Homo-oligomer: A and B are copies of this chain.
Amino acid sequence: MSNPTTITSEPGVPFVETIREFDAPVDAVYRAHVEPELLAKWLGPRRDAVKGIEYDTRVGGRWSFGAASSDGYEFTFSGVFHTVEPQKLLIMTFEFSGAPGQVGIGATTFEDLGGRTRISIHDVYPSVEARDMAVASGMDSGVIEGYERLDDLLAG
């Protein structure tokens, strides 16, 4: 039984809030968010092939990955890190190749629940329209499925 993923996007503001708990210690959850070889094992929905993962997890470092969906649609996500506080906080920009120039910023907070971990993500898009398009793209199902894969990885 997976923990629920809560994704909230209030109307009229450009934010998306995501909250998820994991039955694993914070150091393991954090490592799975910053080490490319671990990210490759859970990032994105099962149907998409994630590739070209690069995470230079330090201030000013770049991150990026590409994916090809089963229907042949290829895209990339990329950005740079503004804040890196291991096991506590990552703040990074993000840009989707399907919406070039629409650059947002996201903050991921890691909370140590004593052997369990809560992550809270505050994503900020450059406009309400850009946020609405991202939400309408069905991004949430990929996020939820990715976290289920991460559950499996952390239990493995």
CB within 8 Å of B: which residues of A?
A: 12-15, 59-62, 79-83, 89, 91, 93, 95, 101, 103-105, 107, 122, 124-128
Name the prevailing secondary structure of the A interface residues: strand
User: Nearest Cβ distance between residue A58 and chain B, in whole angstroms?
Assistant: 10
Task: Count this chain's copies in the assembly.
Answer: 2
- A14-B124, A124-B126 given; name 4 further pairs at CB < 8 Å: A60-B60, A82-B103, A93-B93, A104-B105
A107 near B126: Cβ-Cβ < 8 Å: yes
Nearest first, the 7 closest Cβ-Cβ pairs linking A and B are A60-B60, A82-B93, A105-B105, A60-B80, A91-B103, A80-B80, A80-B82
Kindly state the separation between the CA atoms of A153 and B95 in the bound complex, as whole angstroms.
Answer: 35
